[in-house]
Amino acid sequence: MNDRAVAVVGAGALTTVQDLGRPGFAHLGVPRSGALDPAAARLVNRLVGNAEDAAVLETTVTGCALRPRSAVTVAVGGAPCPVRADGRPLPWGTAVRVPAGALLEVGPAVRGLRSYVAFGGGIAVEPVLGSRSTDLLSGLGPAPLAEGAVLPLGAAAAVRGSVDAPPWPGPPDELVLRVRLGPRDDWFTSAAREALTTRAYLVSSASNRIGLRLDGPALERARPGELPSEGMVLGAVQVPPDGRPVVFLADHPTTGGYPVVAVVREADLGAAAQAVPGTRVRFVTSR
């Protein structure tokens, strides 16, 4: 049998199919979704010769185990982790050939949280609104991986990947997030605004694809009352009534009624998605 597909042997804590998301539907309440560390997703695709927006797997903490039904080119990147085929170690962060029927093990992340697994030809599940991404907020796209599921693969490109062994900076020990204050920074006391950019926060274990939740000084409101619902953006630092900021990641709701004190630069969100619980976080203002 030579069909292009991979069978899921071990789903891991949470493994989802992700591409670069489905922007353009926020006005209908559809989150953008997509890989939380898009630079890693693009790079593993380039390694196996795919277009950068091909669908890959995004693991969470524990990795996953897969059995390709035909020989396939694979690259694992993002969070560093051990990679094995039938128990034999394979290099991480570069394209490798895995024979048909071999057990491909993507091990637990050694640093960071989310590893990305690209297959030559990309994962070819049916797109929804132009994207194959799993959106955990609204349930669009394929379900998270489950043992026994079979994922179809697309036809592999005839050309080799355009990169061989790129540099992979590991996740930093301290997460520095550059922010622009606003649009609702005036809803907070000056002490709260100062605390945001001078005090340290810690990544909470309640973080997920919707948001990076933070423990640390509660940000006190300068005014009571409710904000009418308004549009939300990727990287918005939303402050719920408990005062603890949440940085919105790819599966964030498209509108919300809690004030946004600042917005994190998009370029910093990949590192935010790799920050393990307990990581120290600092916000710095930037233009």
- The least CB distance from residue 126 to other proteins, in Å, is 10
- The least CB distance from residue 185 to other proteins, in Å, is 11
- The least CB distance from residue 228 to other proteins, in Å, is 3
What is the token pair recorded at 118?
């690209």
Contacts of 43 (CB under 8 A, 6+ apart): 77, 163, 166
Q: How far apart are CA 157 and CA 265, in angstroms?
A: 34
C-alpha gyration radius of the chain: 20
Contacts of 218 (CB under 8 A, 6+ apart): 242, 243, 244
Q: How far apart are CA 35 and CA 14, in angstroms?
A: 13
The smaller minimum CB distance to other proteins, of residues 82 and 183, is found at 183
- The least CB distance from residue 23 to other proteins, in Å, is 6
Q: How far apart are CA 110 and CA 79, in angstroms?
A: 7
The smaller minimum CB distance to other proteins, of residues 87 and 228, is found at 228
Q: How far apart are CA 8 and CA 146, in angstroms?
A: 7
Instruction: Using the Cα atoms of residue 117, residue 121, residue 124 and residue 129 in order, give the sign of their dihedral.
Output: positive
The smaller minimum CB distance to other proteins, of residues 140 and 156, is found at 140
Residue type, 54: A
Give the count of alpha carbons within 13 A of 65, CB side only: 12
The smaller minimum CB distance to other proteins, of residues 25 and 168, is found at 25
The smaller minimum CB distance to other proteins, of residues 82 and 127, is found at 127
- The least CB distance from residue 136 to other proteins, in Å, is 13
- The least CB distance from residue 222 to other proteins, in Å, is 17
DSSP-based three-state secondary structure for 192: helix
The smaller minimum CB distance to other proteins, of residues 155 and 227, is found at 227
- The least CB distance from residue 190 to other proteins, in Å, is 21
Beta strands in 45-156, from DSSP E residues, in sequence order: 56-58, 64-68, 72-78, 83-85, 88-90, 95-98, 104-106, 115-119, 150-152
List contacts with other proteins (CB under 8 A). 23-30, 128-129, 138-140, 180, 182-183, 228-233, 235-236, 253-256, 260, 263-266
The smaller minimum CB distance to other proteins, of residues 131 and 207, is found at 131
